[in-house]
Amino acid sequence: MNNVSNIPNSSLNSLTKQQCGLIKGPIVDMDNRFNEVFHSFHPLNPEFCPGNRVIDNFSDCFSFHLFVKSKDPSSKLRIQQLNTLAINFFSSVTNALIIMDISVRNNITSSIIHIHVCDKSVVKTLHYTVNVTSTEVEFFVLCCGINQATQLHDIFRIIVITNSIHAAKKIFNLLSYSLQKQSASILRDLRSFFMYHPKNTIEFWECPSKSN
C-alpha cells in the first residue's frame, strides 16, 4: 500500500489527488516557502564593526519604553499614556509618529504601518504575507516604517508605537542573530538620520497586543 514516504520530494503542483489525500494536516509548498525566506546573517557588515556601530556613536539618540504588564494588568493606563503621548506629539511639525500593528491569523500575517506628522496621515502601508515567520515580518515592517519616516523633511523626533518591541530591541543587538541583513538596513537609515542633525532622536514605545 502506498504511504506518505513513497511520495517523491517535489513541488505540491506535481502531486496527484491520491497523493495529496494521503497527507494528513495542512500542506505547505516548501518550494514556495524557501523562495520567501529572507537572507539572514551578515555579521561582517560595517554596521556591526566595533567602534562604528550606532550603539557606540549614537547611544543617546534612541530609547525604549517597555510595557510592564504586572503594573497595569488591564493595559488601560498604558493605552491612556500612549493616547496622551500622541496628542502632545502632534503639536510640533518636526515630529513623526509611526504606529505599527502585526497580527497572525490562519497562517496569514498582516501588518499595517501608519505614519503621522502634525495629526495628518502621510503614509499608510498594508501588507499580507504567507509562509514567513512573524519575526521576519516584524523586521520587514520596522525596516519599511523607519525608512519612510527618516526620509521625511525637517523631522527631528520619531516615535514608534509597536506591539513588536522585542524585534525593535534586537536591531541594536551586538551578537550574531538571524535577520542581521534587515537590521543593517535599519541601522544605516538611523545613522543617516542621527548624523543629519544633532537633535534627531527616535523612541520605541511598546503597545500591549490583544493577546496580552
- Do 106 and 149 fall into the same domain? yes
User: What pLDDT shows up at residue 14?
Assistant: 62
The whole-number pLDDT of residue 8 equals 44
Task: Domain of residue 123: give its range.
Answer: 46-206
- Does one domain contain both 94 and 144? yes
Crossing angle, helix 180-196 and helix 134-150, to 10 degrees? 20
Asked if 31 and 73 sit in the same domain, the reply is no
| pLDDT, position 59 | 92
Residue 154 CA from chain centroid, whole number: 24
C-alpha distances out from residue 41 to 38, 45, 146, 158, Å: 10, 9, 21, 28
The C-alpha atoms of residue 189 and residue 124 are separated, in whole angstroms, by: 19
What's the number of domains the chain is made of? Answer: 2
Measured at the CA of 109, the angle between CA 103 and CA 114, to 5 degrees, comes to 60
Whether residue 165 sits in one domain with residue 88 = yes
Residues 114 and 190 in one domain: yes
Verify that 102 and 145 share a domain, yes or no.
yes
- Examine the domain organization and report whether 113 and 187 are in the same domain: yes
Do 31 and 83 fall into the same domain? no
Tell me the C-alpha distance between 85 and 103, whole Å. Answer: 24
Per-residue pLDDT of the chain (212 residues; tens, 9 = 90+): 444 444 444 445 666 766 666 654 444 444 444 434 444 555 567 787 888 889 999 999 999 999 988 888 888 899 999 999 988 888 889 999 999 888 877 777 888 888 999 878 888 888 777 777 777 888 888 888 999 999 998 999 999 999 889 889 988 877 766 777 788 889 999 999 999 999 999 999 998 876 54
Question: According to the model, what pLDDT value does residue 196 have?
Answer: 93
Do residues 129 and 152 make contact, with C-beta atoms less than 8 angstroms apart? no
Q: What is the pLDDT of residue 136?
A: 81
Where helices occur in the chain by DSSP H, the ranges are 17-22, 30-36, 54-57, 76-89, 134-150, 165-170, 180-196
